[in-house]
Structure 1
Amino acid sequence: MGYIGEIALILFATTIAGALSQRASMPIVIGQLLVGILLGPAVLGWVRPDSLLHAGAEIGVIILMFIAGLESDLQLLKKYFRPAISVATLGVILPMVVFYIYGEVMHQGFERSLFWGVVFSATSVSISVEVLREFGRLNSKEGATVLGAAVVDDILAVLILSVFVSMFGNVTGGQDSSMPLWQSLLLQVAYFVMVYLIIRWLAPHFIRLFERLPVPQATSIMSLVLCMGMAYLADLTGLSAVIGAFFAGIAIAQTPAHKEVTSTISPIGYAFFVPIFFVSVGLDMRLDHLLTNLLLIIGLTIAALLTKLIGGGLGARFLGFNLKSSYVVGAGMISRGEMALIIAQIGYEAHLLAPELYSEIIIVIVLSTVLAPLMLKHAISLLPSPKAARNDD
């Protein structure tokens, strides 16, 4: 029963660390990650990775991606489709190219170099949203573009991750599959056809059917069944399970049960499984060679900041935004947050990240997440006041 004590310790420590992180104007996930480092083999050694924690972390990442899908606002994306596509696309392409070159320079090999690009192409704008709200810019054209681009970025990130793990996981010791490539690709195409049908047609009927059951929380339970089922099927086809969970969330978000499911599932995820996932990321970190790789960390952090800033900013600039507004949009896309941590952890387990550099990659993700709001605040300070901007319009 020792695992019961470990779970109690993890939940207590992550709650305190999360509160301290928010006090310091940092994302809660940073505190949870630091708990994993503190309690894990890197420092105290009180909690060690085992099969139970691994299972809890897997459920945590699936629920987290399901919630991300639930929170994806497709209506906002439709309204700001062109700038969102432009910002997200350039904000993905530039990090992919720069980090691939960086990885090759560091002799990481083709697959691992490319995966560096996959990790740092991700964006998590939850902290950017708070900054934009604080300055009254959330409903401005810059804020709406950042939110729309975040939806596109999330979709691109999970698609790229799934395809990448499917193609290269076997090469570096990931999943083992004797299935011919053409058959695997055919299954994956069939899976995405199924995803489209679920989002457009099956999910609403599915929800209406289970709303009639005289069982408490039947709708939320069956939404979780859909989430886990789509994640499992994605894994069977060679894709990442997170893509199934993410699109299950998008499917439920298009139904009238959206608010009920979100209000039920979010507390379960954030109270139990999600903290276990982020602690598990910290448990795999080592601190004994960080000083040796300090220059690498600094270089990767600068690249992480500039690639999203320039990529997202250029995307906005091409659609007619002025320089100051483009700076705000680019700065709003810098934070990597939980999305990059999820991708890094999946890549680590699929042997797509070199174990000796895993800790450095996680630290760079954390640093870019912490520095992102500071850059966004500076960018917003250069804009005219919201009232003056409305008068100009």
Structure 2
Amino acid sequence: MLILQLAIILIASKVAGSLSVRLGQPSVLGTLLIGIVLGPSVLGLVNETETLSEFSEIGVILLMFIAGLETDLDEFKRTGKASTYVGFGGIIFPLVFGYGAGFMLGMTALQSWFLGLVLSATSVSISVQALKEMNQLKTREGTTILGAAVIDDVVVIIALAFLMSLSGGDVNLTVVILKKVAFFAGALLIGWAVVPLFLKRFSVLKESETVISSALIICFVYAYLAEFTGVAAIIGAYIAGVAISLTDFKHEIFEKVETISYSIFVPVFFTSIGVTAQFGGIGENIIPIVLLSILAVFTKLIGASLGSVLAGFSWGSALGIGAAMVSRGEVALIIADIGLETKLLSQDMFAIIVVVTLVSTLVTPPMMKLFFKRKAASQNIG
């Protein structure tokens, strides 16, 4: 059954992606939408399974690994201030307004702060693909978005640990912070001292494709260690890509990883987002879904855009950056799942968050296309 589902996903995602481009939208939008059509909510041709979920996880890890390989480290250093402003701007607005929304919905203070925290999450995996398609990934804006995503992930997870400790959960905030510090310090040290040496030593083995295998080993180990220490696996994969981008193997690895990723794993990831969509109970919760979806989109857009303007970007670029930060993706779902387990979210609110997350993910590519297109047009006029 898995083999047939993979065949269906690949043909449908490629056709839908091509159609989306013909309609003037990023191909990723068509891939996300076809997932909904293929899934149990519409045709039921593809169902969520553990194996398909693991394929999907590999897809998003490889996507962020490729983004790391394409990152200009010098530009990344130069955008540190901008990334900080964007990251915090994109956290503060959703957090505060999310708390207010929770209060209005009758949630307790702790539950309201948790709702705000869920809305503060960002997953730029969708944005990375849209940036690649628009040739914006290597620009100052693209690098700022990636840096802001790293900051967003770390700050939100630490805030989550703090909130869990207040709720009576068995969480030691000091340990949480130390684990993250240890990961980033270790990742940087290993990236500088071990990664180049490992690639050189492993690549001379008398076996085929040892260079690409060594790169994937580094990618998966970084992703695992990131997840083990409470940092998102995609952040670990991204840092691994940045580390390898500083070696002489960068171009060979990039070409082969991109071929492997986009031939099967990345299409499965994008399509599976739509496949996992559940629309049961929408009718009973349509008002909170609409209100929270609007809140999720505009608080992140405005907060991250204001941060961009404070960092010196024009409003045209700032809105493009803000749009890229809107997608909540798998990061918000992971946090929401924690809330469900700890009773900080009710079952109904969890279902609402799932739909809101899907909405924020679907609107991100066309919003990015709109704002970056406007920015390019204004530059050409100028």
Tell me the TM-score range normalised by the shorter chain: 0.7 to 0.9
Question: Which structure 1 segments of 5+ residues have no match?
Answer: 389-393
* Distance in 1 of aligned mates of 2:198 and 2:22: 42
1:179-208 C-alpha deviation (Å, 9 max, x unpaired): 866555444432222112122222122222
Q: Is 1:146 aligned to residue 141 of structure 2?
A: yes
Alignment of 1:236-385 (within 5 A): 236-290=228-282, 293-319=285-311, 325=314, 327-336=315-324, 340-347=328-335, 350=338, 354-357=349-352, 358-378=354-374, 380-381=376-377, 383=378, 385=380
Q: Is 1:34 aligned to residue 29 of structure 2?
A: no
TM value normalised by structure 1: 0.79
Query: CA 1:234 to 1:7, structure 2 compared with 1: closer, same or farther past 3 Å?
Result: same
Maintained 8 Å contact 1:230/1:248: yes
Query: CA 1:121 to 1:217, structure 2 compared with 1: closer, same or farther past 3 Å?
Result: closer
Instruction: From 98, 102, 113, give the equivalent of 2:116.
Output: 113
**More divergent stretch after superposition (194-203 vs 368-377):** 368-377
* Distance in 2 of aligned mates of 1:185 and 1:319: 27
Query: CA 1:294 to 1:17, structure 2 compared with 1: closer, same or farther past 3 Å?
Result: same
1:391 counterpart residue number: none
2:189 counterpart residue number: 197
Letter in 2 for 1:118: A
Instruction: From 225, 250, 253, give the equivalent of 2:217.
Output: 225
* Distance in 1 of aligned mates of 2:338 and 2:226: 16
* Distance in 1 of aligned mates of 2:28 and 2:124: 19
Maintained 8 Å contact 1:95/1:307: yes
* Distance in 2 of aligned mates of 1:350 and 1:222: 34
Query: CA 1:317 to 1:202, structure 2 compared with 1: closer, same or farther past 3 Å?
Result: same
Query: CA 1:238 to 1:330, structure 2 compared with 1: closer, same or farther past 3 Å?
Result: closer
* Distance in 2 of aligned mates of 1:241 and 1:384: 37
Letter in 1 for 2:118: F
Query: CA 1:314 to 1:34, structure 2 compared with 1: closer, same or farther past 3 Å?
Result: closer
Instruction: From 191, 202, 207, give the equivalent of 1:210.
Output: 202
Q: How many residue pairs were aligned? A: 369
Maintained 8 Å contact 2:41/2:278: yes
Letter in 2 for 1:258: K
Letter in 1 for 2:70: E
* Distance in 2 of aligned mates of 1:213 and 1:169: 48
**More divergent stretch after superposition (272-281 vs 85-94):** 85-94
Query: CA 1:370 to 1:185, structure 2 compared with 1: closer, same or farther past 3 Å?
Result: same
Report the Cα offset of residue 265 of structure 1: 1.0
TM value normalised by structure 2: 0.81
Secondary structure in structure 2 of the residue aligned to 1:334: helix
Question: Which structure 2 segments of 5+ residues have no match?
Answer: none
Give the percent of matched residue pairs that are identical in Structure 1 and Structure 2: 31
Letter in 1 for 2:226: A
